[in-house]
Structure 1
Amino acid sequence: MWAAVFQTQTRFNKMPIMVDDVMRLLGSIAEERKMKAAVKHSGKGALITGAVAFIGGLVGGPPGIAAGGAVGGLLGASTTNGQRKPIPQMITELPPDKKQKLYNEATAILGDLEWMDPKELTKQVMDNETMKQQLLALLEKFLEG
């Protein structure tokens, strides 16, 4: 009798979400959408573009800025070519403090879900388009900032 009561009671209790479980969930959502992000090399490309446009302006005035911007843009783009990482990889490489921040924001969205294990949590989120969209938006905002 007590075993049946205990099983029923624990079956519906919400399992505490572990940080790694949420990171895997976010990685699954990103993977489903084939999300990739340009990494730190984007800033390097922008710097190259700006520097070459600046030098072009010094050498050739306004037409030099335009020509320097075009050449700098091509050079900047070539430095970032192929420098996109899958989001799941970026999530696993986050430092612990960033993972904790992302976890806190994601659990606010997951708030009322009940599940037995991480697989069930992932399935519930994947079946809930609204929640999935909220988590995607969170992930995009988080990785941009």
Structure 2
Amino acid sequence: MPVMVEDVMKLLCSISEERKMKAAVKQSGRGALVTGAVAFVGGLVGGPPGLAVGGAVGGLLGAWMTSGQYKPIPQILMELPPAEQQKLFNEATAIFRHLEWTDAVQLTALVMGSQALQQQLLAMLVNYVTKELQAEVRYDD
């Protein structure tokens, strides 16, 4: 059964949307740059004590900037580059490869009708988001 990557992305979006899943992707690189820049300026202005104060202030500012704003997981999935979508596609199809279906609509109906399949796909999705994207997952009520 040929299935398109886009169809599986839509399936994963449906599942994550139903559970109201969001993720905060932390941008640690930007926080590290801010921390280093403020520490550098503190060192230039105040010498060694300025470096210490600049490092502390920069660290707090960097942490605040990277605290991450939550975005819906469906939005994150649709913004993934094609190679990452292919990786998710491969992991998802390994979970439902035993199903017999003819099109994406039927596949979605089969998966949405099975709590076990939904749980497996959700676990795979949470694992991907936390490990590959280094994001924190939250479920809104």
Pick the TM interval, shorter chain.
0.5 to 0.7
Partner of 2:54: 68
Q: How many residues get paired?
A: 128
Which fold has the larger relative contact order, with Cα–Cα distance below 8 Å and residues 6 or more apart in sequence? 2
* Alignment partner, residue 119 of structure 1: 108
Any gaps of 5 or more consecutive residues in structure 2? Answer: 136-141
1:26/1:50 CA distance change after superposition, 3 Å: farther
Secondary structure in 2 aligned to 1:49?
helix
Structure with more strand by fraction: 2
Q: CA RMSD in A?
A: 3.1
Shift in alpha-carbon separation, 1:51–1:44, aligned structure 2, 3 A: same
Structure number with the higher helix fraction is: 1
**Could you say which structure has the larger radius of gyration?**
1
CA–CA distance in structure 1, aligned partners of residues 112 and 22 of structure 2:
19
Tell me the distance in 1 between the aligned counterparts of 2:47 and 2:113: 60
State how 1:1-145 maps to structure 2 within 5 Å.
15-31=1-17, 32-38=19-25, 41-57=27-43, 59-61=46-48, 63-80=49-66, 83-115=69-101, 117-124=106-113, 127-128=115-116, 129-144=119-134
Task: Report the equivalent of 1:9.
Answer: none
Unaligned runs of 5+ in 1: 1-14
TM-score normalized with structure 2 length: 0.66
